[in-house]
Amino acid sequence: MNKLLHSKTGKLLSSLLKKKLKNIRNIKPILTFPDGCKYSGMTRKDPKNKKKLIAEGLGYAIWPDGQYYEGQYKKGLFHGWGKYTSPGSHILSGIWKNNFLTEGEMRWSDGRHYFGKFKKSKYHGKGSMNYSGNILYVGNWKDNLADGKGKLTVLKSNEHDKKGTILIGKFKKGTQQGKFEKILPNGSIMDCIFVNGVCTKAKWKNDKKWTFFK
């Protein structure tokens, strides 16, 4: 994961972009697109049509429904540092390439917060998700779902587990599959077998006898 996003350099760059974009937002829109999107910012001549301008450099775009993007552009596409905001829903911010977020974070209005790798703006690769302060998942992702080795930490006690409980194992398409190690807050360890996200049997680490669940 690119540590630049959380480094002093990354924060400074983000701050500088924010200051420059603040002035750009107040500029009269330079480009208007068929979908109603209005763009203010830096431009260049379109290599394919010299009579047209395309976004290039720092810019700000806003759509009729209130969604907006602020950040860097290249050849008319989101490219570089930028933030895409859908008011009342979510925010995507980080490093973009050809209109898609490749690395950064996604924050939802319900409190969910993902930080890590993306592929075509979907969670993909190494990343962490804080589920509104209830559960933290750190591990592998594929197409927006936990997939591969991962670790779940209970941040807030629920009907199944107490705060501080940890589950380590493999996920498949968003659900727990196979053998998991469950570490309780007091340090005790259990082996658990999951099928489609449901624990079917479990035993204490040094026991041989399994307890089966319906």
Task: Report pLDDT digits (tens) over 63-89.
Answer: 999 999 999 999 999 999 999 999 999
Give me the number of domains the chain comprises: 2
In terms of domains, do 2 and 102 share one? yes
- Quick check: is 122 in a domain? no
Strand 145-154 to strand 166-172: parallel, antiparallel, or no bridges (unpaired)? antiparallel
Could you tell me the end-to-end alpha-carbon distance of the chain, in angstroms, rounded to an integer?
40
Local confidence band at 37 (pLDDT 50, 70, 90 cut-offs): very high
Tell me what pLDDT residue 6 has: 60
Q: 203 near 211, Cβ under 8 Å?
A: yes
Which tokens is 7 given?
Answer: 């480094």
Domain encompassing residue 79: 1-109
Among 109, 144, 177, the domain-final residue is 109
In terms of domains, do 98 and 178 share one? no
How many CA atoms lie within 13 Å of 51's alpha carbon, on the beta-carbon side?
0
- Quick check: is 117 in a domain? no
- Nearest in space to 203 (alpha carbons), one of 190, 185, 188, 189: 190
* pLDDT, averaged across the chain: 92
Question: For the domain that residue 74 is a member of, what is the CATH number?
Answer: 2.20.110
- Quick check: is 183 in a domain? yes
- Quick check: is 120 in a domain? no
Tell me what pLDDT residue 3 has: 56
- Quick check: is 208 in a domain? yes
The lowest-confidence range among 15-24, 95-104, 146-155, 197-206 is 15-24
CA angle 85, 114, 73 (to 5 degrees): 40
CA distance 155 to 71: 34
In terms of domains, do 41 and 102 share one? yes
Question: Is residue 209 exposed (0-12), middle (13-18) or buried (19+ Cβ within 10 Å)?
Answer: exposed
